[in-house]
């Protein structure tokens, strides 16, 4: 498994390709900036390694404790952390749930102090309406950027793990070939003596 620095290096090195490819396909600077930002955020802070005490986890600073339940329930390198689409969607749902719970708590406290009317149902309806009607393209682009950042991480995990596994097995194969040659040569020498 690559180190956090290796993942960061891969994220930074692949960013120009991501930006160039996105701008070539879309021709929009704003969408290119959104996908680049979400790709960087995913690669550096919101990737699959939030399920362990990783550099991504540490980058959340004093609020990194919000990821402790996630780390407790999600097994490292499982389908739920490193899986295509499901890992990113689960992290987004988890983060939105935490943020909504914090926001509700804050609003209830403020509402008790200043006594104003506020409805969670109205607020949720307004946010969903904005996301679906007015900012649907931006939401999709942000989601794609987050997923591409996560997939960059997961693919590099599997490629480097496969290389390391192959390198560990290669010396064994070489030793086994040498040992079998020795056995054959010693076995053939015995048959000649008889």
- Where do the domains of the chain lie? 4-169
Q: Which residue has the higher pLDDT, 37 or 2?
A: 37
Predicted pLDDT at 191: 46
User: Taking Cα atoms as reference points, which of 58, 54, 21 lies closest to residue 36?
Assistant: 21
pLDDT surpassing 60 at residue 188: no
pLDDT surpassing 50 at residue 35: yes
* Residue environment code for 125-163, b if the CB has 16+ CB neighbours within 10 A, otherwise e: eeeeeeeeeeeeeeeebbbbbbbbbbbbbbebbeebeee
Q: How far is CA 192 from CA 31, 43, 181, in A?
A: 78, 65, 17
């Amino acid at each position: 498994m690559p180190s956090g620095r290796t993942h960061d290096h891969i994220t930074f090195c692949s960013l120009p390709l991501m930006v160039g490819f996105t701008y070539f396909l879309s021709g929009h600077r704003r969408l290119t900036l959104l996908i680049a930002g979400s790709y960087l955020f995913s690669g550096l802070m919101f990737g699959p390694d939030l399920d362990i005490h990783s550099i991504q986890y540490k980058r959340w600073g004093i609020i990194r404790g919000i990821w402790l339940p996630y780390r407790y329930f999600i097994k490292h390198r499982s389908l739920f952390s490193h899986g295509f689409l499901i890992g990113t969607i689960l992290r987004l749902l988890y983060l939105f749930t935490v943020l909504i719970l914090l926001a509700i708590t804050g609003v209830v406290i403020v509402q008790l102090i200043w006594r104003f009317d506020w409805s969670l149902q109205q607020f949720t309806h307004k946010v969903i309406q904005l996301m679906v009607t007015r900012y649907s393209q931006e939401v999709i682009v942000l989601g794609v950027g987050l997923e591409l950042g996560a997939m960059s991480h997961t693919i590099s995990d599997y490629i480097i793990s496969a290389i390391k596994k192959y390198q560990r097995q290669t010396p064994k194969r070489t030793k086994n070939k040498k040992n079998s040659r020795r056995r054959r040569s010693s076995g053939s020498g015995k048959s000649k003596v008889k």
